[in-house]
A and B are shown apart, each in its own frame.
Chain A
Amino acid sequence: MCALDKLIEKYKIGDIEAMSILVETYKDELYNLCFRLTFNKHDAEDLFQQTWIKATKNATKFKDTAFRAWLFKICVNQHKDNYRQLMRRKKFLKEDFKTTYAKDYVLVVSNRGESVEQEVEKKHIQALLISNIDKLPEKQKIPVVLHYYQQMKYSEIANTLDIPEGTVKSRINAAKKKLKSVMEGELYV
């Protein structure tokens, strides 16, 4: 257990300062995860706050695992809850995540020898891909977001989602097949 993880132990016995340090330490990483799960500033802020509050309420459940992984697990579970509620309230009226909007969040990685035109095209395609990832069923979308946006390893995702590593791989693979088919339909037909 690292020093940061020990902070939560301090928090569990009523050390308010300990939780404050934990929030400061993980705020950026957690906020980005929230944003990538929702792609909406307001929803991300809600999710950020809900995650910390849940972590506070469930502090006694934290055992000897890494705090970061535990926090991410709470965040993803909260997101799933929010999604279910969204479905209940809005009855599938969730606004489509538009490609034009997605372009604001793409950071194009330049490769050697790529022209400006190629980079622009790549940005367009990646924005289209992001908007299609957002449309995946949550079961597939969450592992994709954690792996490709958050650069998490399969084993970390398995731990976060409480599923075997093989299941993570199978869901990502299924998502890739679906994305490939949709992208080919939108780009090449």
Chain B
Amino acid sequence: MFDIDKYLDDMRIKEFEPSESLVQKTKKECEKNMKPQKAQRRYHKQTSRKFGKGALIAIPAAAMLLVGVFLGAFLFGEKTDPSVVAFYTVDINPSVCVNVDENEIVQSVKSQNEDAEALLKTIDCVGLSVPEAVAKIIEAAKQAGFLDGDQKYVLIGRFGEGNEQALSDLQTLLDTKLGDLIDLLIVSGSLEDKLNADGLHVSAGLLILSQMADGVEITGDDKVADVVDEVNNTNQEKYLAPTLEAGANSEGVVLEWNELDFQKMGYTGKVSYHIMASNSELGIKNFDAVKIGKLDFMSTDDQPTRYFIDVEKCGVNGEKYKYYGIYAVYSGDIYVQSNVVKAIVPGPEESPKPSPSTSPEPSETPAPEPAEGLVSGYVDGEFVKLSWEKNSKDGFTGYKIVASKTNENPSYPEDGYLKYITNEGTTSKSLYEGYGGLKANTYYYFSVTYLYSDGSKIIGNAVWLKVPEKEEEPDPTDPPSGDMVATTIRGEMDGSAVYVSWDKIEHDHFAGYKVVYSYLDSTPVYGESNVYYTYITDPNVNSKVYSDITALKDYSSGATCYFSVTVLYNDPSTKVAGNVISFVAPESVPYPSTNISVSLSGNNVATSWTEITDERLQGYKVVASFTDSSPSYPENGYATWITDTTVTGYTILESYIKSLDGYEPGATCYFAITAVYDGKKVTGDADSLVYP
């Protein structure tokens, strides 16, 4: 097992100095670019024109932001072509202005920066409809590499007279066609806004975007990603996590939390609550925790405020987990942590073994602020894992990790030390048999002593843990019986499915097949960037089915997907890449969902839905929940699993309903159908009823 923390914590990179000539040259360049403040053309937000705020970063196309349309009077006669009645701006970063007539037909296209000038030389949009022209511009930008890497924002603005429906139609079309490729932002404004922006030499779309947060300024050099970042940064403190409380009884742990005011936060869209568990408080705080549940909901829907963790999941006497927290995830990429709570399911009997406290007393209130000296630990496989609170006091010089078999409160220097850590940010350490002389199957008191430059120290609490035995090393095997050879892959395509097979490897030191694919690397080998793999350790398994290659990472319509098999060998560790085969990916076909209808049938619940005829469908999961208004499989379990895809109804028995978390007479129960495809699950709209 590779101890990633150990190597990262010890990582030091040599220091270098810039050459004197570089420094002098830089100073001269700065001097050249120096302008008095008043000479800069700037735009500062007009507080009188305010649109909805927040929720901008990583907005999926499905949750696009449509800012209120303001169709101002056409007061300024700057246009040169009398047929032009409106302008569309497209910012990717090439910034383009598309001028359209009353029928939304493109009359001319103008570049608004250098990148756009080059781009427009390659395409002609005059005479096209707006959706055609915009799609063409986006495609050209993609071909030119502007939508690679992290940059996926496409900002479209409409300015001027015309119908509101045009923008809405454009939004729908782009969402359908390019939803996976881009993060679309839509804004709109008046012709006056457009002329204002022209006068300031900035994109009108970016100008409106900048108005979504107080005090965001833009210049002609700013790119759409810069402005989105700045708007989000200004609004970011608005993202909140709930305050968590916990309780435990013999059946499990109950977590409860408050509702959040998303409207006040300015957030509209999907929210996910990841329910996290760990054996240490720091595990939750440092994202080194296990996700044991996930609650997805829309910010406008009813919010979940409770989660029950069955004793089988959390363990008795804290054997599995003691600490819990919630990560509130906004827009799929913004994580905000709740407080950490401790909850332990009591066992049938008191634990007979006396041991020092391994962590603070159980508390159902929010966790205390970090405090020096708070040490926790647990055994994981062959490791003892210690963690401690990060130092926050001045004059810190290091942490000494100490251990003693007999001293219940070991400290440095009295008990020596196992490890000296001078990096203040390092707050965990894995120990194992043999480390500093630690013996297997022996209990030690472990602690951390914090040292300070003035000679003072803080002695942490001790945790009493048994050092496990090292896992046995595999017996040395005979030398290889032959050359470590590559295998040959073959394959065929059927619709969007690809079937690959390869020659079996018979070798004493065979370790596994890494079946790899890549849309970005034409010679994919396991371990390289942009290459994804499936690991098969059975030498007799020599085929694999990709049921839909449009669902694979980095897919884009018409792109070529490359497949290969890298064979891994042991002793010596060797990887041997094989031949490559490729297929051109077809257009992606969306996965349909189906909506449920429910009604009471006595104390049972009758459900029905519309049949899905998609061939890729494997079956339906019928889902019910009292606590989640948008239930789905697997988050909420399921009442039944139906593999006959022509079935369109099912009666959920009273006994199942009453076994659900949150059941009580008169409570509202929510139902949904999750359509299960190979590698994909799609849940339809929920229906609900008040259960008697």
Contact = CB atoms under 8 A, between A and B. Distances in A.
Nearest to A39: B13
A68 interface: no
Contact of A27 (B18, B149, B232, B336): B18
Say whether chain A's binding surface is mostly helix, strand, loop, or mixed: helix
A57 B32 CA distance: 10
B226 interface: yes
A125 B11 CA distance: 10
Nearest to A153: B425
A19 interface: yes
Contact of A173 (B14, B19, B286, B420): B286
A162 B18 CA distance: 27
A72 interface: no
B659 interface: no
Contacts of B423: 151
B466 interface: no
A143 to B, nearest CB: 11
A117 interface: no
Contact-residue size bin, chain B (C-beta under 8 Å from the other chain) = 35 or more
B526 interface: yes
Interface string A143-173: 0100111010100000000111111011011
Contacts of B568: 185, 189
Nearest to A35: B16
Contact of B16 (A23, A31, A122): A31
Given A12-B37, A53-B33, A188 B573 contact: yes
A105 B17 contact: no
* A-side interface size class: 35 or more
Contacts of B229: 77, 162
Contacts of A138: 149-150
B18 A187 contact: no
Interface in B311-369: 327, 333-337
A176 B4 contact: yes
A147 B365 CA distance: 31
Contact of B335 (A56, A169, A186): A169
Given A49-B22, A138-B149, A187-B573, A148 B11 contact: yes
B26 A188 contact: no
Contact of B13 (A36, A57, A139): A36
Interface in B202-258: 217, 219, 221, 223, 225-226, 229-230, 232-233, 236, 239, 241
Contacts of A66: none
Contact of A162 (B16, B219, B233, B527): B233
Contacts of A52: 26, 29-30
B405 interface: no
Given A52-B30, A137-B150, 9 more contacts: A23-B23, A31-B16, A49-B22, A88-B145, A126-B7, A149-B13, A166-B241, A169-B287, A183-B4
Interface of A: 11-14, 16, 19-20, 23-24, 27-28, 31-32, 35-36, 45, 48-49, 52-53, 55-61, 77, 80-81, 83-84, 87-89, 91-92, 96, 104-109, 111-113, 122, 125-126, 129-130, 135, 137-139, 144, 147-149, 151, 153, 162-167, 169-170, 172-173, 176, 179-180, 182-189
